[in-house]
Amino acid sequence: MAKKKKGKKMWRGFLAVLVAVIIVDVVQMIASDINSSVNINTNGIERVIIPEGMTNETHTYTGFTVYFNKDTHIPNCTAYELTRQEIQGDVPRAKNFLEDPNLEGSATHYDYTYSGYDRGHMVPAGDMKWDEQAMLECFYMTNIVPQKKALNSGAWNKLEQKIRNWAERDSALIILTGPIVKPEDLANTIGDINVVVPGSLFKIVLTPYTTPMRAIAFIYPNEKAKGGLDKHVVSVDAVEEATGMDFFSVLPDDVETMLESSSDLNLWNHH
């Protein structure tokens, strides 16, 4: 009888090990499949689909792409890749904000003067230190939105710094940033050309080269932020719902669904 019990225990132990091995293999296969699919579709991963009815003109600069709205005089969205090498750049910060000669409807530096709002970069100067032309172009007013100073120099700046740390760790990131403009925001404007002041802003981050890929998003009201990153983290799906825009559409549907539904900050802090 004792031998039978011992045999049963050994058999159960073997089954437990076998199940664990199978689970590990399945997880690795899923991760491999996800990354294999993504590798096929990396071209155009930064592309943003603008909803029908939203005024937009797209222009690609040295370091980023802007989806600009000439009616609101602010970008709908900006998109770029930030690599580990690029954040090591030493190009000095540009000194002057410039009217964009490439796009109709660009605000000027003076539209923001005495407005009570900062000239808030969507593509931050700190991410364009790798190239003089990229630095200059991120100071075009088509990359700028009216942003409360308490947010711009506070939590938003901390978020940008955190993202640079992630780029250093993960080798490269895809970053999408823009305002969220609701119908009630349209009446709140500054400057001679009526630059619309957004009620909130979003930032989306995706790791294209990790296994598996990860994505996360943040929404901040255009005011002094309350709480840390964890209080403002959302899914990419939530940003799509708020803006009407479609992100990462080049990815296979199952991969896109998985990435865009995630809002787990722990996945980013513990890697």
Tokens 């190009």 belong to 91
Q: How many CB atoms lie within 10 A of CB 17?
A: 10
Beta carbons of 38 and 255 less than 8 angstroms apart: yes
Biggest distance spanned by C-alpha atoms of the chain: 93
DSSP symbols for 222-259: SSS--S-GGGTEE-HHHHHHHH--EE-TTS-HHHHHHH
**Is the bond leading into 221 cis (omega within 30 degrees of zero)?**
no
Two structure tokens written together for 228: 């840390």
| 121 is annotated as an active-site residue | yes
* Token pair for 64: 């980023």
Q: Is 230 exposed, middle or buried (0-12, 13-18, 19+ CB in 10 A)?
A: exposed
3-class DSSP assignment, residue 141? helix
Backbone phi and psi for residue 92, each to the nearest 5 degrees, phi listed first: -65, 150
Would you call 94 helix, strand, or coil by DSSP?
A: coil
Which position among 59, 73, 109, 121 bears the catalytic label?
121
Q: For residues 250 and 168, what is the distance between their CA atoms, to the nearest angstrom?
A: 25
The values of phi and psi at residue 167, to 5°, are -65, -40
For the record, the structure tokens of 139 come out as 């100071």
Helix (H) or strand (E) holding 156: helix 156-170
Q: Which residues are catalytic?
A: 121
